[in-house]
Amino acid sequence: MQWGVYVHIPFCKRKCNYCDFASYGGREEAREAYVDALGVETLVRGQEMVLKHGRPATLYMGGGTPTALTLEQMGTVMALMKSVFGEPEEFTVEVNPGTVDEEYLKKLREWGANRLSIGVQSFDDDILKRLGRIHTAAQAEETIRAAREAGFENLSLDLMYGLPGQTMEILKDSVEKALELAPQHISIYGLQVEEGTPFYRDQQEGKLALPPEADTEAMYDYMTEFLPEKGWRRYEISNFAKPGLESKHNLSYWQDVPYLGLGAAAHSYLDGMRLENVADLDEYINTIKSGSLPLRSEEDPSEQHHMEEFAFLALRTAKGLDKKKFKETFGKDLRSVYGKKINRLVREGLLQENKKSISLTKAGAKVGNQVFAEFLL
C-alpha cells in the first residue's frame, strides 16, 4: 500500500506576525524532551505501520521550523526516521533561512533528506520585517545557494502575496528573483489574517495596511498566468512545479492516500479514519512520558463525509476528480451523486468535465472554497 509520513517539529526562533500554525517561539528547554517523545511515538506507531504496510513512499518534516532544532537534535530525529522508515523516495524537510548554514544542510542531505521546502515568502526586506520573519532576502538567497552546495537538487520555495506594503511591482520582483534561483517547485499563498495573531490585532486597531482587494486579485492573476507561461505547471491551487517535479507527498493528501502524522498537532489519515495528536507541546510530551499515545480525537467518517472530502481534496489538483477512482472507492457513479451540481457548475464556468474527470476552470480556482462547498452533501 502506498502511504506517507508527516513529522511535525513545533519550534520556531520566534513567531511570525501572521502565524497561527502549531508552533512555539523559543521553548528551547523543551526541545530535548520533545525529540525523545517523538522518538517513542515513531517507534511505536511508525514500526506498526511499516510492519502492516511496508515502507512509506514519502516523508515530510514540517513545522514550525524543523531546522530550529540543533544539529545534534536533528541528527537524533533523522537517525530514527531512517531506522524506522528506510529511505523514502521523496524526503522533504522544511527549512527557514536564518536557521541553517551549509554544514547543517550537508548533514540533512547525508542523513537522507532529498528535497527542501524553503520559507522565503518575499525577497523584499521591508516586507519580511513587517511579517516578523527572522531573515533578510539576502539570507534566503544564501540558504538556496548553500542548499545547492549541499547537494539538494530538488528545492521548493514558498512565496506569499496580498501582504502589507506589497505592490504588484514588489511581488513581480520576488517572483522573478525566485525564478532566477531556479527552484523545481514554488508554493504561493495569499495572506490570511487569522484570529489571535499580531496581524489580527493590528487589523482590529486599523493598523494593518493590506493591499486593496483588486490589487490582491491582480497579484493572484499575475502568478497564475506568468508562471505557466514560463513552463511551470500549476498542479494544485497554490502549487507550481516543473513537469515531473510535483511534490509526491502533497499530492498524496489530495488523492486519498493514507498518511501517518507524528508529533504534536500532527494529523493522520489511516484506514479511512482521521486522527489528530494533541496540539499542546507539554501535553504531548507528558502523555508519551506516561506511557500513552497522544491521540486526541478519532473521527471515523461516514461514507458521506468521506465522499465530500474525497471530492474537494481531488478538486484542488489540476488532474481533478477522477470518475473511475470515485467509483472504485465508493461503488457509485460520480454523476449519480453529484450530477446536478456538476451540470450547474459547468454551466456557470466554474468546472470543466471530460470523460475521465471533472476539474476546476481558471474562474473556478479563484473561488475554490465556494465550489468545494457545493460538494457537501
Give, as one character, the DSSP assignment of residue 28.
G
CB nearer ligand SF4, residue 13 or residue 106: 13
Nearer to ligand SF4, 26 or 86 (CB): 26
In whole angstroms, give the CA distance from residue 369 to residue 209. 25
Taking the least distance from each CB to ligand SF4, the nearer of 128 and 365 is: 128
Q: Which residue number, 65 or 92, has a Cβ lying nearer to ligand SF4?
A: 65
Binding stretches for ligand SF4 (CB under 6 A): 12, 15-16, 19, 21, 23, 63-65, 96, 119
Task: Give least dist CB 197 to ligand SF4, A.
Answer: 9
- Nearest-approach distance from CB 12 to ligand SF4, in angstroms: 3
CA distance 266 to 243: 30
- Give the residue with the Cβ less far from ligand SF4, 19 or 144: 19
CB of 228 to ligand SF4, least distance (A): 27
Q: Nearest-CA neighbor of 127 among 209, 182, 47, 48?
A: 209
Residue 274 vs residues 37, 252, 294, 299: alpha-carbon distances, Å = 22, 15, 14, 5
DSSP-derived letter for residue 231 is T
Pair 203, 193: CB distance under 8 Å: yes
In the complex, least distance from residue 122 CB atom to ligand SF4, rounded to whole angstroms: 13
At residue 358, the 3 state secondary structure works out as strand
Nearest approach, Cβ of residue 47 and ligand SF4 (Å) = 29
| Residue keyed to cell 478538486 | 315
State the Cα–Cα distance between residues 307 and 269, nearest whole angstrom.
14
The minimum distance between CB 162 and ligand SF4, in angstroms, equals 15
Residue among 70, 78, 71 nearest 28 (CA): 70
CB of 297 to ligand SF4, least distance (A): 22
- With respect to ligand SF4, which residue has the nearer C-beta, 63 or 364? 63
Which of 91, 199 has the CB closer to ligand SF4? 199
Cβ 108 to ligand SF4 shortest distance, Å = 17
Q: Report yes or no: 375 and 312 within 8 Å, Cβ to Cβ.
A: yes
Closest CA to 220 of 370, 363, 124: 363
Distance CA 351, CA 364 (A): 6
Integer Cα distance of 223 and 228 in angstroms: 8
Specify the pairing of strand 321-322 against strand 295-299. Answer: unpaired
Q: Which is nearer to ligand SF4, 19 or 358 (CB)?
A: 19
Alpha helices in 181-332 (DSSP H): 198-204, 213-229, 248-254, 281-289, 303-315, 323-330
Q: Closest CB to ligand SF4 among 163 and 365?
A: 163
List the grid coordinates of 164. 502589507
List, as one string, the DSSP characters of 303-360: HHHHHHHHHHHHHTBSS-EEHHHHHHHHSS-HHHHHHHHHHHHHHTTSEEE-SSEEEE
Rounded least distance, CB 277 to ligand SF4, Å: 17
Q: Which CB sits closer to ligand SF4, 119 or 364?
A: 119
Shortest spacing between CB 260 and ligand SF4, in angstroms:
21
SS3 call for 209: coil
